[in-house]
Chains A and B, each alone.
Chain A
Amino acid sequence: MTLQVEHLTKRFGEHLLFEDLTFSAAAPAVLWAPSGWGKTTLLRILLGLDKPDSGSVAGVGRAAAVFQEDRLCPQLSAVDNVLLVLPDGKACRSAVEEDFALLGMTGEALTLPAARLSGGQKRRAALLRAVWAKADTRLLDEPFTGLDPVSMEKAAALLNRRCAGGPVLLATHDRAAIEALGWPVLRLDELKGGTGRPLP
């Protein structure tokens, strides 16, 4: 599947966030821009949660996401939050737990309700939920926030192993994350054709 974005324009009132944005992605890519340039808004449009002022999006299909916020069910454990989005969740429990172990989460951290996890642990759960979900396109908004450099390297390696087959758009302004992933970079400031301006 190929993600197609054509002539996308989005304004917030008088403020032009981006204009005539056109690009496509059939494989994993990083969407880079400084903070406030509309990465999150663009991802929300791709997810169908926000509407553009003009332009079109095609080829998203079934999406999985890491949102700007973790958006975990607070009463469920990290593992159960991942299993929640899987049709055959129970069958995958041990495999999901192995992935959590790869990211450095084991033992009690896997059984505690998400409300009681640290920021980094929640982020790992949100990331694995997006990795495990059955999806045509994965849209990841700053998925490494709160992870230490070693965990970030591990998470990037996991993404490379598990999500190499289809379109993945990972929004970040973190250059260390871009290096760890080694994916092609789409620069939002260039895609904007120089018409966009950062939010004040």
Chain B
Amino acid sequence: MNWQSTLEILQDNLGKALADTFFMVSIATVVGVVFGTLLAIALFLTQHHLFSPNAAVNNVVGFIVNAIRSMPFLILLVVLIPLIQLIIGDPYTPLGGAIALSIAAIPFFARIAENSFTEVDSGLIEAAIATGAPTRQILCDAIFPQALPSFIRGIVLTIISLLGYSAMVGTIGAGGIGDMAIQFGYNRYETGVLIAIVVLLVVLVQAIQWIGDLIARAVTH
């Protein structure tokens, strides 16, 4: 193991790789959380007897969510390549990776958010409805504040999962630290680089989890 070459490689490539990973995971997280929450609200309201029970809508949306989630990400990625090509031309870029990750993130987070909502005490929901509040207010001012700690933990889980998935988009050359680990660490036997990136990932994930837990606890009363 040649430490000098390891350091050289890291110096030349780590900066961009980290930036690419950050880019992809951030976009996917934001898109996943925003659209996943909307889907979760639809799923939640259509299966709750006090809101707008609608088996048809619930089943259709549920089916789509389940279908995407059931695909191993690598396969989803391959399936999405033609679609991404249509949208941005070259799928083998960080932007292409971000799109693929976003599509995976949406149903992933939808189920997590839906779970956070259904965990809210039904008595609380009953009381909120009894005040004559409109559904929007019940969601924003009663259900969401109660679901917030669980919601935040769900976001942390999503970020960490996306971090893992982002390594896979590296296999199609979309960049990121996963790509770097495979390119240098695996293909060119630069074990030092592999170790360095693994350590980096461990530290990153620990930090994200720790910060997330801190925030979740801060909003729990």
A binds B: no
Instruction: List residues of chain B with CB under 8 Å of any chain A CB.
Output: none
